[in-house]
Structure 1
Amino acid sequence: MSFLKQLSPLSPKDDVLSGLTVALALVPEAVAFALVAQVDPLLGLYAAFIIGLVTSVFGGRPGMISGATGAIAVVLVSLVAQHGVEYLFAAVVLMGILQIIFGAFQLGKFIRLVPYSVFLGFVNGLALVIFLAQMKQFQIKDADGVYQWIQGTPLIIMLVLVVATMAIIQYLPKLTKAVPSTLVAIVALSVAVYLFNLDTRTVGDISSVAGDLPKFHIPSVPFTLETLWIVLPYAIIMALVGLIESLLTLNLVDALTETRGQANRESMAQGLANFVTGLFGGMGGCAMVGQSIININSGGSGRLSGITAALALLAIILLGAPLIEQIPVAVLIGVMFMVVIGTFKWSSLRLFGRVPHLDLIITGIVMIVTVFADLAVAVILGVILSALVFAWEHAKKIRVQKFTNDGGNTVYELIGPIFFASIHNFQELFQPNEDAQDVIIDFKRSRVADHSALEAIDQLAERFEKAGKRLHLVHLSPECRLLLNKAGDLVEVNVVEDPVYAVAAGLTSKEIDAYAMRSKKSGAASH
């Protein structure tokens, strides 16, 4: 009983029912994402089962659902097309190893560095990628093996089924939420196609989804450096994409449940899940935003909900394959179009004129790179651009208040941070030749942020030395004083009033304390 309580702290009944609902919703998406990756639908179902089970048991966010996802599927397309499915398995195994390392080194906290503008671009780009992937389903090979757009009656039938699927998913919840609208759309339209003998492709026309239990399978690839260089780029991209989407989903579930997940534990669980999936014939995956929200809204908050969903999905694989093969491809396209609509942040279109233009530009760049390159590169590029924009904006905020004190000395009261982007503006604030013989720079309202700033201060001391002026720096940190030692007698440091705060790496506390003591003695002597 205590074990069950650990799996479901609130309500085992709600977790089980919610897990069953999620399992039914997982089937069409797992199949659809496998088709996006151009692999056997069974690979998507196996990935959904294994990843869902492993992350539910070992993950850091109870209630979050993981499985085969579009974010991973779109990365796999070119690898499968160029090298085959066995290289896919090898890439997924390596992806899992990289994610385990990421979690072991506790790097999950760095997801906090992703700005919201980058998140918007990432989500909107992902929606566009999924949408564009569906366009391939409107093509078919001719006798010469060339892809041609579907035309005539088959196209009309597909479009009608797509629209009908989207309409049921959109409007059925307004009438009843007793059953998942996605499931109703799939069942109703599959039955309609069968009864009216409509000429349209089904999942069975593409591939069989009948399967047994996943079997252990070491990827059949040469274990050489050449193979490593082939799969490593894909593995890195999938690892980053999977972790980014998983940790962003974790934050979303945290907000919905008002609880706190464990990012590093989730990273390791995602890695273990993908490592196992690659060895059992799955396509890889990560956390799923849509299914996680369905689970939370259906009352699933414990690990039992995810475990139930995974086991129910396995039962469908073993017993329900003949039914799954009757699902029309057009219905799955409709399901994916609704995923696109639900994924795309339409509110971002109303941000023009309400947020800084540079943030909107970053969102657009991330979205474009996501579509034409990949998700990981897009997010990393977005974070770098956001950091540069932040640095540029703060670099312009440094200024001084200049006045002459009662003793006739020139005083510069520095305001704003000094760091790599602001050092040019910092140097332009001072005119040594126009100042009194003794110049005081007060750092009370400023902070020295990096080594570039320390070097800039040292260069400023040299400028005053060449001008024949005595420079006095007050409210400067011990680290700055240590690195400015070469200014010698020209620099006076007010030790008594100096705050202690760290600004530079590589200095030990003993070194700082020793220099502070020497500075106090020399300061007392100078007074």
Structure 2
Amino acid sequence: MSKKKSQLVDGMTLAEEFKNVNIKNELLAGLTVALALIPESVAFAFVAGVSPILSLQTSVVIGVVAAIFTGRPGMISSSTAAISVVMAALVASHGLEYLFGAVILMGLIQLLIGVLKLGKYARMIPYPVMLGFLNGLSIVIFTSQFELFKLNTTSGREWIQGLDMAIVLALVLLTMGIIQFFPKLTKAIPPSLAGIIILTLIAVSLDNFTGYHLQTVQDFAGMTLKGGLPKFYIPQLPLNLETLQVIFPYAFIAGLVGLTEAVLTLRVIDEMTDTKGNTDKEIVAQGLANLVNGFFGGMGGDAMIGQSIINVKSGGRTRLSAFVAPVVLLLFIMFGSSIINLIPLAALVGVMFMVVVGTFKWESLKYRGKIPKQDIVAMLAVTGITIFSDLATAVIAGVILSALAFAWKKGSEADAQVIDNEDGSRTYKLSGSIFFGSVLNFKDLFTPNQDPEVVIFDFENAKVMDYSGVEAINAMVEKYDLLGKKLLSFKLVVTVETSLKKQTN
């Protein structure tokens, strides 16, 4: 990645950002994302135990604020599954007022992390962890669409059966085919938007001319999706320690989960566009978005990798498309509900399946035997934890696994070449890093009882990396001292801010 491109996104002015921008592509990309956000937001509402309108309005508020203050132009923020899962238990046990309070506190925590510029630690996330995250998230997105293959019945939601399922699957495949091949006909309209429009026309035609009804957004929501402007609201909560004890755990976990997903989404979009966003600025934007959202009665959210990919692939590159998406969503909620309610779920499933195809790192299936086993283990672990637990836990586990694997590998590289000199002394020509991961191996390199009276440690090709390494050397110095043998050192370099307890000559 060139330095010029990094600067172009990271520190550019609004005038620079919108210079040579294709406004039509930005607007159409925003429209496409707005349509794709609808079923996702409705589904997240069911997960969290809130009304669909509340989730849709959350997407509007978070989307607008994050787009204005974003550190990664082109990235989409909304209500998300990750936050919904965290907040569901709070809503069930304490109700909406505590949810709003937790979202406000969540925003403040994220703001603090951004102001302290802790986003730099995101660079510690290894690439195998990124691959595991993307693969796991792809599978989560894929399986989350299964709910759209069910019907509302008196006994709950049940799978579509027989011919109806075959028709739905055929229309999903048709949507995917349109998205894949439509750009070969014209690039004037984003292929995802074209797929949604064509499938909506097919659904309306089938309904009017044959009486065959495809499941729509309205059917999925169980209500006509129509609402108004989000309104400012102060949560009615007692301001005391007991309230803080209730909401803090949820706010803290949701804040970390949200920022983890936002930072990883930022890195994915960076790679897709060959540009560089500002991590700390994006964290502040996410915090502001959730803070404002809490005061407008929202359920909290973060960046959405699926919709961000749709936006970028549809031509969205600036904050304009990210701003248009929530604004158009708001207009749909207020004035275009009749259009929203007609969109067949098959079209939206097809769009998301194409996101899955584009997000999953297929090349990772061929890595066996080509990359270190520890990287494959870390990647698979992150994928599994992302699917069965949550993103933040998966990333933390992946980083820990990668760090331990690195420490083990570097620890096994500590070695010594033994040279018997003409004057009767013995030289240990050391190599590798001496630190907590290698101290046991380091001690096994020497044979004090069999060594001559004068021993030389040659550190020219070795480095002492931490206090554990210093202590390991001290232990050897003391052992040779007890045996009455003289120990010399050569080119000893200690990279920690300490010194040996007993200096060697």
Q: Same-fold call, TM > 0.5?
A: yes
User: 2:39 and 2:26 mapped to 1: Cα distance?
Assistant: 20
Q: Which amino acid aligns with 2:23?
A: V
SS at match of 2:114: helix
What amino acid maps onto 2:38 in structure 1? V
Measure the CA separation in 2 of the matches of 1:278 and 1:327.
30
Q: 1:124 and 1:162, CA in 2 relative to 1: closer, same or farther beyond 3 A?
A: same
Question: Among 171, 176, 185, which residue is 2:195 paired with?
Answer: 185
Other structure's SS at 1:196 match: helix
Which moves more between the two structures, 317-326 or 301-310?
Answer: 301-310
Offset at residue 425 of structure 1 (A): 0.4
- 1:13/1:290 Cα in 2 relative to 1: closer, same or farther (>3 Å)? farther
Q: Whole-Å Cα distance in 1 between the matches of residues 459 and 111 of structure 2?
A: 44
| Pairs within 5 Å for 1:360-399 | 360-399=376-415
More displaced 10-residue stretch of structure 1: 213-222 or 428-437: 213-222
1:454-469 equivalences under 5 Å are 454-469=470-485
Going from structure 1 to structure 2, the CA distance change for 1:167 and 1:305 (only over 3 Å counts) comes to closer
- One-letter identity of the residue aligned with 2:303: A
Per the alignment, residue 60 of structure 2 pairs with 49
**Of the candidates 181, 200, 209, which is equivalent to residue 214 of structure 2?**
200
Does residue 129 (structure 1) correspond to residue 143 (structure 2)? The answer is no
Superimposed CA distance per residue, residues 61-87 of structure 1 (whole angstroms, 9 cap, x where no aligned partner): 334333344554555556556665555
* Whole-angstrom distance in 1 between the partners of 2:139 and 2:312: 26
- The one-letter amino acid paired with 1:492 is T
- Residue 345 to residue 69, structure 1, CA distance change in 2 (3 Å): farther
* Superposition TM-score, scaled by structure 1 size: 0.83
Q: How far did 1:18 drift? A: 3.2
% identity of equivalent residues: 45
Give the corresponding residue for 2:369: 353
Residue aligning to 2:454: 438
**Contact 2:107 2:290 (C-alpha < 8 Å) held by counterparts:** yes
**Aligned partners of 1:14 and 1:298 also within 8 Å:** no
Give the alignment of 1:500-511 within 5 angstroms.
none
Alignment of 1:291-440 (within 5 A): 291-293=307-309, 295=311, 300-440=316-456
Distance 2:376 2:356 in 1: 21
State how 1:98-117 maps to structure 2 within 5 Å.
98-117=109-128
Please say if 1:33 is aligned against 2:49.
Answer: no
- Whole-Å separation in 2 of the counterparts to 1:269 and 1:10: 17
Structure 2 partner of 1:262: 278
Q: 1:146: how far off?
A: 4.5
Cα distance in 1 for residues equivalent to 2:141 and 2:99: 19
Higher alpha-carbon deviation: 235-244 or 392-401: 235-244
**Cα 1:261–1:414, aligned 2, differ >3 Å: closer, same or farther?**
same
SS in 2 for 1:14: coil
> Would the aligned equivalents of 1:40 and 1:209 in 2 still touch at CA under 8 Å?
no
Q: Which amino acid aligns with 1:178?
A: A
Q: In 2, Cα distance between the equivalents of 1:434 and 1:214? A: 81
> Contact 1:9–1:302 at 8 Å: present in 2 too?
no
Q: Secondary structure at the match of 1:401?
A: strand
Could you say if the C-alpha distance between residues 11 and 299 of structure 1 is closer, same or farther in structure 2, counting changes exceeding 3 Å?
farther
Structure 2 counterpart SS, 1:155: helix
Equivalent position to 1:166, from 169, 176, 190: 176
Question: What's the secondary structure of 2:449's corresponding residue?
Answer: helix
Unaligned runs of 5+ in 1: 494-527
Residues in 2 aligned to 1:157 and 1:281: alpha-carbon distance in whole angstroms: 39
Q: Is the 8 A contact 1:36 1:73 kept in 2?
A: no
Answer whether contact 2:218 2:225 (CA < 8 A) is retained: yes
Evaluate the alpha carbon distance shift between residue 128 and residue 291 of structure 1 in structure 2; reply closer, same or farther with a 3 A threshold: closer
Using the alignment, how far apart are the partners of 2:355 and 2:323 within structure 1?
23
- Between the aligned partners of 2:64 and 2:317, the Cα distance in structure 1 is 15
Alpha-carbon distance change, 10 to 116 in structure 1, aligned in 2, over 3 angstroms: closer
Change (3 A) 1:424 1:470: same
The offset of 1:294, in angstroms, is 5.3
SS state of the match for residue 412, structure 1? strand
The structure with the larger Rg is 1
Distance 2:57 2:91 in 1: 17
Q: Is 1:492 aligned with 2:504? A: yes
Equivalent AA in structure 1 for residue 483 of structure 2: A
> How many Å separate the matches in 1 of 2:101 and 2:139?
28
The alignment partner of 1:473 has SS state of strand
Gaps of 5+ in 2: 1-11
Give the residue type in structure 1 aligned to 2:382: V
Flag the 1:385–1:314 CA change in 2: closer, same or farther, 3 A.
same
Select which of 274, 280, 301 maps to 1:285.
301
RMSD (Å), alpha carbons? 2.9
Contact 1:75 1:237 in 2 (8 A): yes
1:50-103 deviations in whole A, cap 9, x for unaligned?
Answer: 223222322223343333445545555565566655554444333222211211
Give the paired residue count: 484
| Alignment TM-score, normalising by the size of structure 2 | 0.86
Q: How does 1:182-261 map to 2 (within 5 A)?
A: 182-197=192-207, 198-205=212-219, 206=221, 207-219=223-235, 228=244, 231-255=247-271, 257-261=273-277
Distance in 2 (alpha carbons) for counterparts of 1:361 and 1:401: 33
1: distance between equivalents of 2:470 and 2:240?
A: 48
Kept after mapping to 2: 8 A contact 1:63/1:306? yes
Give the AA of the match of 1:361: V
Deviation at 1:439, TM superposition (A): 1.5
Q: Is the 8 A contact 1:55 1:270 kept in 2?
A: yes
